[in-house]
A and B are shown apart, each in its own frame.
Chain A
Amino acid sequence: MSETPPPAAARRSGAARRVLRNPLGLGSALVLAVIVAAVLLAPVLSPQDPDLASLRDSFGGPGPGHPLGLDSAGRDIASRLLYGGRATLGGAVLAVLVALAAGVPAGLLAGYRGGRVDAAANWVVNLVMALPAMVVLLACRAILGPTVWVLMVVLGLLVAPAFFRLVRGIVAGVRNELYVDAARVSGLSGTRIVARHVLVVVRGPIIIQTALVAGIAIGLQAGLEFLGIGSGSAPTWGAMLNEAFKNIQRAPGMIVWPGLALGLTNASLVLLAAALRDALEDRGTPPARRRPRPPKAAPPPGGEPGRAGLLSVRGLTVAYALADGRSKQVVHGVDLDVRAGEIVGLVGESGSGKTQTAFSILGILPEGGHVGAGSVTVEGLEIVGLPERAHRALRGNAVAYIPQEPMSNLDPSFTVGAQLMEPMRHRLGISRAEARRRALDLLRMVEITEPERVFGSYPHEISGGMAQRVLIAGAMSCDPGLLIADEPTTALDVMVQAEVLGLLRRLQRERGLGVLLVTHDLGVVADVCDRVAVMHDGRIVETDTAEQVLSDPRDPYTRRLLGAVLDHAPARAPWQPAAEETV
């Protein structure tokens, strides 16, 4: 841990080691290794010739020289099992190789080139995928005769789409990554980019998929043999199952051995794939989902000197549960007040805890997050420790939320109108017609010029600025007294931002709303905020009027923040031709 080993090597061996450290990975790898070795060494290990029949001994139980007994023709089951694995596993290996050879290059090409190549390849793949493998194999058997190896090649082609789709999907995603553009600009050729940036990404998933496809191929191969279509008299696991199934009444135990061989092989392949996936994705265990203990009883609400009536936060801490059972505090005791009719800016940089503070007021912290201590009152009602149902009753009615990204915050499957009407009908219990009338009023209120059209539109049919207005309308729909706006204009162009901020300002004036505006932009603060709280590393470092904080900051962090503002930095001087050529 103390030294830094050569990183590339460390990473490569790391994945393999992680697989083997996982008990499931190690176990399945061992089982597979044993099966493959036993099958390869069949001539050495088998007690006798697998086809040597002695009808006298048919259905003979285990005995000396016949550890697993004898089948209906008096052949040694152990020997047939060992030799049978050759056809079954060999066939599967052939099918997987064919599938890899056909699917991976085609997927790389289609994904990397896109356009027509992609469209054509997809068409072919969809065609292949519409064909039920078993039916096609049977039809091929009719034409080509009982040549199991040829059938395995066909099988390989039939399962190739599994690789094609996987590789194509990943490559098409990687192709649009900026680092691939950067590599192109760095002067790398197409093949080098594929080798260096693309193959690295698809390698892991291909290995995982190979294990899964091998399992499918073994299953289909055995299925074919089970139907009696395949290599004829040579022993295979599928044929042995068929034989055992035919004699199920007479010797029910016979089905166990080939079934076990098949089941063990497949199960190990799938478990190995699962272990590989965990190792390559380096997944930690998800955070333990405990019901967070309700924090200690908060101080009595209201009545306290200095606490605002609308929203008052005292000593709020927010923590997240970590995978190892501990928890990490991200907000360390925040005090905040919003009065009716004022806009308070909560300013900070990324990771300062400003959004966590906003979410805990709304009670919508993401999974694993919880309020550790402190008091939050909304309209005098303490909400820390409040049961979820009672807290829910406040959301929308007393306190509403305006999110940051307009597009991702509308449900793509419902029209704007449906999304506006739903909370009103549910919360206010009004009729459909009344909800519709109110929704159109709301759209007019947020200065949307064609409310009828927007009402009937789906989110993907309207612009980002329009969507943000719709979200503001939604927040206003149940007539809340307090708005929590989380970076409501960050995703918008400046002109749209100016309009939306103007709208917020107007709503606040006309309706006497209190607004908590979370932002990183000091210009936005200057534009609409009455007061500001500056947040840094989970703490409020300074609270005052916007005028005071922006013109005469007292906290060193606030000063640093304002020092980085470029508004009043001088414009760069005009360009001067270089006196001499610099290289």
Chain B
Amino acid sequence: MTKDDDLLVIEDLRVSFPGKGWRAAPNEVLKGVSLNVRRGETLGLVGGSGSGKTTIGRAVLGLVPVGSGGITFAGERIERATGRRRRLLSRDIQVVFQDPYTSLNPSLTIGDTLSEPLRAQGQGRAGARRRVGDLLERVGLPADAASRLPREFSGGQRQRVAIARALAIGPKLIVCDEPVSALDLTTRKTVLDLFLEIQERTGVSYLFVSHDLAVIRYISHRVAVIHHGEIVETGEAAEVTTRPRHPYTRNLLLSAPVADVAGQRARREAFERAYAGPNTSAER
């Protein structure tokens, strides 16, 4: 099954969370998800809130327990990896979270935050400090940022720090969980371009989670659309975002407004036509 090019393969992944309250039925958020990410590829994962898109990323990172199914990374099954093994995997699998304000410890300097993964992998203090300088330069932050606290930086700059932390130990895969949705429009583009540039330079793969089809289309080679815990459609970015096959994808595309009055009018009309149809169940 696993081809040589595949870095990450997820097969029939199921994840449930315990229900709220006593004896409540567990809530299945992933109902058998299968996908793969190749070396140097960006797989965009798009879906609405509560679709389970974030859970897939967290399962790959080992932050949520996997119910059943397999996660294979570089030929190795990792869905049940624990303790030591998981810590070694952190060399290869990294993360950039959505919220640049809570993903950095407010009481640690940027330098401390960036050297954390290096030190955890056994690097010496001096080596770590040198590497921190390189990292800051690579994400376009001034070198004196290392001695400052996160609160002195804007959202976009913090997200650069988070990217630098993910890059620190040269991972093969970075899980990007809505990394630009908390950023302003103008900052968003520059951060996305940074992601692209880093990928070209290092050949890292991204599992890029977002609710925004325009962002996904810009950054991804391939796109997977998730709805209610199931992948409904997968394909090349241009294909999925211009000629969607699944009705859910079609609605997703038609409901995302474009910044162009004539274009949006056409989209709005198409959306209302599609919506007047039989399946008006966007909201339960």
A positions within 8 Å CB-CB of B: 4, 6-8, 11, 177-179, 181-189, 192, 196-197, 200-201, 349-350, 463-466, 493-499, 501-502, 520-527, 546-547, 550-551, 560-575, 577-578, 581-583
Residues of A within 8 A of B62 (CB): 184-185
Contact with A along B80-120 (1 / 0, CB 8 A): 00010011111101110111001111011100110011001
Interface status of B42 (Cβ within 8 A of chain A):
yes
- Let me know if A526 and B259 touch, CB within 8 A: yes
Mark the stretch among B26-34, B66-74, B133-141, B235-243 that contacts chain A: B235-243
- Let me know if A582 and B184 touch, CB within 8 A: no
Interface status of B147 (Cβ within 8 A of chain A):
yes
CA distance A183 to B121 in the complex (A): 12
- B 113-158 contacts with A by CB, 8 A: 113, 116-117, 120-121, 144, 147-149, 155
Closest CB of chain A to B213's CB: distance in Å? 8
- Let me know if B284 and A463 touch, CB within 8 A: yes
Closest to B267 in A: A527
List 8 A-B pairs, minimum CB-CB distance, nearest first. Answer: A523-B257, A187-B90, A522-B259, A186-B117, A575-B221, A582-B203, A498-B255, A571-B238
Q: Quick one: given A551-B261, A566-B215, are A577 and B5 in contact (CB under 8 Å)?
A: yes
- Let me know if A184 and B107 touch, CB within 8 A: no
CA distance A502 to B263 in the complex (A): 16
CA distance A103 to B181 in the complex (A): 40
CA distance A463 to B283 in the complex (A): 8
Residues of B within 8 A of A493 (CB): 48-49, 211, 282
Interface status of B189 (Cβ within 8 A of chain A):
yes
Which one of B48, B222, B251, B282 lies within 8 Å of A575 (CB-CB)? B222
- Let me know if A564 and B186 touch, CB within 8 A: yes
Residues of B within 8 A of A546 (CB): 261
Contact with A along B251-280 (1 / 0, CB 8 A): 110111111111110001001100100000
- Let me know if B49 and A550 touch, CB within 8 A: no
- Let me know if B63 and A187 touch, CB within 8 A: no
Most B Cβ at <10 Å: residue of A11, A502, A572, A583:
A572
- Let me know if A197 and B260 touch, CB within 8 A: no
- Let me know if B256 and A523 touch, CB within 8 A: yes
- Let me know if B263 and A526 touch, CB within 8 A: yes
Can you pick out 25 interface pairs between chain A and chain B where the beta carbons lie within 8 Å of each other? A7-B109, A8-B112, A177-B105, A178-B98, A183-B105, A183-B116, A185-B63, A186-B94, A186-B117, A187-B88, A187-B89, A465-B282, A465-B283, A522-B185, A523-B258, A525-B259, A527-B264, A527-B268, A560-B186, A566-B217, A567-B263, A571-B237, A572-B220, A575-B41, A577-B5
Residues of B within 8 A of A201 (CB): 107
Closest CB of chain A to B250's CB: distance in Å? 11
Closest CB of chain B to A13's CB: distance in Å? 15
Closest to B202 in A: A582
Most A Cβ at <10 Å: residue of B98, B211, B214:
B214
Q: Quick one: given A182-B95, A196-B116, are A524 and B283 in contact (CB under 8 Å)?
A: no
Closest CB of chain B to A52's CB: distance in Å? 55
Closest CB of chain A to B252's CB: distance in Å? 6
CA distance A565 to B62 in the complex (A): 34
Closest to A204 in B: B107
Most B Cβ at <10 Å: residue of A178, A522, A524:
A178
Which one of A182, A494, A522 lies within 8 Å of B48 (CB-CB)? A494
Residues of B within 8 A of A551 (CB): 260-261
Contact with A along B182-221 (1 / 0, CB 8 A): 0011101100100000000011000000010111011111
Residues of A within 8 A of B83 (CB): 189
Closest to A574 in B: B236
Which one of A177, A494, A568, A577 lies within 8 Å of B255 (CB-CB)? A494
Q: Quick one: given A4-B147, A494-B211, A571-B237, are A524 and B257 in contact (CB under 8 Å)?
A: yes
CA distance A460 to B273 in the complex (A): 32
- Let me know if A572 and B116 touch, CB within 8 A: no
Closest to A188 in B: B120
- Let me know if A572 and B259 touch, CB within 8 A: no
Interface residues on chain B, number (Cβ under 8 Å):
89
CA distance A368 to B256 in the complex (A): 38
Q: Quick one: given A7-B148, A499-B282, are A550 and B218 in contact (CB under 8 Å)?
A: no
Closest CB of chain A to B46's CB: distance in Å? 10
Residues of A within 8 A of B258 (CB): 523, 526, 567-568
Closest CB of chain B to A88's CB: distance in Å? 36
- Let me know if B261 and A8 touch, CB within 8 A: no
CA distance A263 to B93 in the complex (A): 58
Residues of A within 8 A of B91 (CB): 187
Q: Quick one: given A561-B186, A567-B258, are A200 and B236 in contact (CB under 8 Å)?
A: no
Residues of A within 8 A of B160 (CB): none
Closest to A566 in B: B214
CA distance A464 to B168 in the complex (A): 38
Q: Quick one: given A7-B147, A575-B222, are A179 and B203 in contact (CB under 8 Å)?
A: no
Closest to B184 in A: A349
Closest CB of chain A to B118's CB: distance in Å? 9
Closest to B283 in A: A465
Q: Quick one: given A188-B116, A495-B282, are A564 and B185 in contact (CB under 8 Å)?
A: yes
CA distance A492 to B38 in the complex (A): 32
Residues of A within 8 A of B48 (CB): 493-495
Which one of A7, A181, A466, A562 lies within 8 Å of B95 (CB-CB)? A181
Residues of A within 8 A of B184 (CB): 349-350, 520
Q: Quick one: given A494-B252, A495-B48, A572-B237, are A182 and B162 in contact (CB under 8 Å)?
A: yes
Interface status of B39 (Cβ within 8 A of chain A):
yes
Which one of A465, A527, A575 lies within 8 Å of B257 (CB-CB)? A527
CA distance A497 to B256 in the complex (A): 8
Closest CB of chain B to A196's CB: distance in Å? 7
Closest to B99 in A: A178
CA distance A177 to B213 in the complex (A): 27
18 extra interface residue pairs, beta carbon distance < 8 Å, beyond A185-B62, A563-B189:
A179-B102, A184-B61, A186-B90, A187-B86, A187-B117, A189-B83, A349-B184, A464-B49, A495-B252, A523-B264, A547-B261, A547-B262, A564-B186, A565-B259, A570-B238, A572-B217, A572-B219, A582-B40
- Let me know if B283 and A521 touch, CB within 8 A: no
Residues of B within 8 A of A567 (CB): 214, 258-260, 263
Closest to B254 in A: A498
Interface status of B14 (Cβ within 8 A of chain A):
no
Residues of B within 8 A of A501 (CB): 257
Closest to B106 in A: A179
Which one of A571, A577, A578, A583 lies within 8 Å of B242 (CB-CB)? A571
Q: Quick one: given A186-B90, A560-B186, are A178 and B103 in contact (CB under 8 Å)?
A: yes
CA distance A582 to B170 in the complex (A): 11
- Let me know if B61 and A186 touch, CB within 8 A: no
CA distance A572 to B219 in the complex (A): 6
CA distance A574 to B38 in the complex (A): 12
Closest CB of chain A to B246's CB: distance in Å? 14
- Let me know if A178 and B102 touch, CB within 8 A: yes
- Let me know if A564 and B188 touch, CB within 8 A: yes
Closest to B162 in A: A182
Residues of A within 8 A of B262 (CB): 547
Q: Quick one: given A186-B120, A571-B238, are A197 and B255 in contact (CB under 8 Å)?
A: no
Closest CB of chain B to A117's CB: distance in Å? 15
